Amino acid sequence: MGLRKAVDTATVRELQLRAPAASRRDRRCISSSMQNKTIFATVDNEQDRRHIEAAILRFQHLVPTVETLFKNLGYLEIGAKILKQEIIDSTPRMTVRRAILANCTMDDNSIPVENSEGDFVHYRVTGPDQARVLALEQLWLFCMRHFPHLGNATPKKRERTRGSSHPGDQSRL
């Protein structure tokens, strides 16, 4: 059985918003759920279960919910629109990444990278490809931080269905 077929609603609910690599409590909860077969219940092979558990416990980020995934995609969409409208020439049929990487030039092997607002550190790069990728990341981060001032793009508000139990729904608290 493929891993995708083994992911059920209980598994998604148990894993969402956990940070297994950062939280001892989340690691214990996930390990317990794997041992009790509350998550990935259809995976019977013990070796497969150990591999799945090890991979989950190494996950370095917060496990997103479906809702946070779509919300984050909305912010990425804003960054893409800003890059297309404000930075990239309207080159037809070219991805944002391809257009930026095609137009980046490198004059030096040291690239300024903004660590925090107005605080720059110079990174040494090994060549033009590394410089282009670093430049692309810096442009994305700039657009994401400053989108309110760079255009008229705003995050789309999703309509909640009646009776939503969204964590921010004050009537449910």
What three-state secondary structure class fits 123?
Answer: strand
pLDDT at 138: 84
Instruction: With CA atoms as reference, report the closest residue to 82 among 157, 32, 142, 123.
Output: 142
Which value, in Å, is the radius of gyration of the alpha carbons in the chain? 21
Contact 38, 8 (CB under 8 A): no
What pLDDT is attached to residue 168? 41
Closest CA to 82 of 129, 132, 135, 141: 141
Residue 19 contacts residue 26 (beta carbons within 8 Å): yes
Q: List the domain boundaries for the chain.
A: 3-57, 66-150
* pLDDT for 31: 96
Which residues of the chain fall below pLDDT 70? Answer: 1-2, 87, 89-92, 106, 151, 153-173
